[in-house]
Structure 1
Amino acid sequence: MKKILLPVILLSAFTAGAQVSIVGSGVPVSEDFTGFDGTGFDPAPAAGQLNSNNWEVLGFSDGDLLFGGSAATGDLARGITTGNITSGGLYAFDNSGNTAVYIQPTSSDFNPGSITWKLQNNTGSILTEVDLAYTVYIYNNEGRANNWNCSYSYDNTTFVNIPSLDLVSVEADEDLLYTYNQSTSIPGLSIGDGDFFYIRWDGADVSGSGSRDEFGLDDISLTAYAGEVTPLAELVEDVSVVEGAGAATVSVELNVSANCDVYVSATDGTAEMFVDYL
């Protein structure tokens, strides 16, 4: 799906030196990778490259691409593909004329790995909520399952996972292309005027053996809203279960009347997700 951006937004990923900017409350910021041809990243991108001021890519054997860096050869510049590839790296996926960023993980590439999008709040206000939507392609052509998760950060160091957006590819080889239209709202934020906000997609092995499925990212849309900061209440409950003893139950009670969203996430202790628990 192609999108038309209003001229005032000025968000082309291919404009030299352009920083992706949130210019107003309720004004969408979009990226559909039109024009990307898999020839890499640069802070002053040539035609077909992505602007590294906006993108950071970690976890490939040729080395990490940090914000503002350059990569015009190797893993991060694999060119155009229509899928069913074997060499690890980052490609431009030609999906019947619609372009996406496309990643082939291997044992040493994007395993684990991440791709991060950086935006700046230039609204003049504090942003307190974000609506995020994007498309994920998973070409299940191998006998291994990998995850594809999404998280956000204020500082590109500490990230908060969004469990409702977690995906895992099917382990059994089906030779099928799956399309997932992902969306969520993130409340309770406090993004100051002039501050940056980061969206990260990451992946790693989950189960199975052999080669890995292929993952594409496209049609990203982020709309941020100014307003009063929504208070957040966070609690942590440790659960221990003897292996093989069955299930455990955790109960959380909200004892006051409130219109709120509840997010539940799990962090591994000695257990491993998808192996010891689901």
Structure 2
Amino acid sequence: MRRNRISYIGLLSGVLLTLTACGGDNSTTQAVPEVTPPTATLPTPLPLPDNSQQQHYQVLLFGNSHMRSHNFSQLLTQLIRAGKPASQVTVLTAPGGSYLDERYYQAESRNLVENGKWTHLILQGQKYSTSGLYDYPTDLTAAWVELAKTKQTTPVLYPEHAQMGNLAEGLQIYSILKKVQQQHPSCLAPIPYAWEQFIIGQPDIQLHEPDGNHANLQGAMLSALVLYEVITNSPADQLPYIANIAVTATTQQMLRQQASATLQQYPACPK
């Protein structure tokens, strides 16, 4: 499977973009003409709700295949239950794998946010150019942020980890979403930095699947640990060993420590 991404191809009579869809091994690459993406009229930014202390954490995940590998919603559920045993936990992955701008105009996704009772909305799937030569609009990602806040839901921007061997890619998407956060108060999970620092510090422990794109179970756990701390504002490095997650106790400890260390360096939510 390959990551949903947008790549800049070049200029002929018009700009062509390559859309590589998350699919099976027989996924194809198709060049399509560039179109002007739809835009949203954004309201005045609202304050960021703090839902870190809850009797019932209700988390909605928007994203592509990165939100589905290794039963990510259940993994996040396990972490929150371990750290907040007195609280109920509901984590739902929304259907579909559309980009955030496309999802904004899908009634099913809008209804989930507008009619559900969520404490947190996790937003993954901002379009970006792998070459860095084209800037994709972020206004509809910002529109999700502001819509969530009208429902007293905490929006959490999720920049995905980089592909194997290209650490700068993750930092690129983090930088794009950082600009959204600066204009529209929200939480920004520093997942690319957690991955970068762990890969450099622990080169013998793999975080990627063999495809070099998706997370293996250890990589998924690292991303989930970052989200756990962002959601609950409780240190991930104080979580216990969770025996029914098939990651060794030693590796779990290193992953917990990396998640908390990264959030110390790159705080997710504005004070």
* TM superposition score normalised by structure 1: 0.28
Structure number with higher strand proportion = 1
Structure number with higher helix proportion = 2
* TM superposition score normalised by structure 2: 0.28
CA radius of gyration, larger in: 1
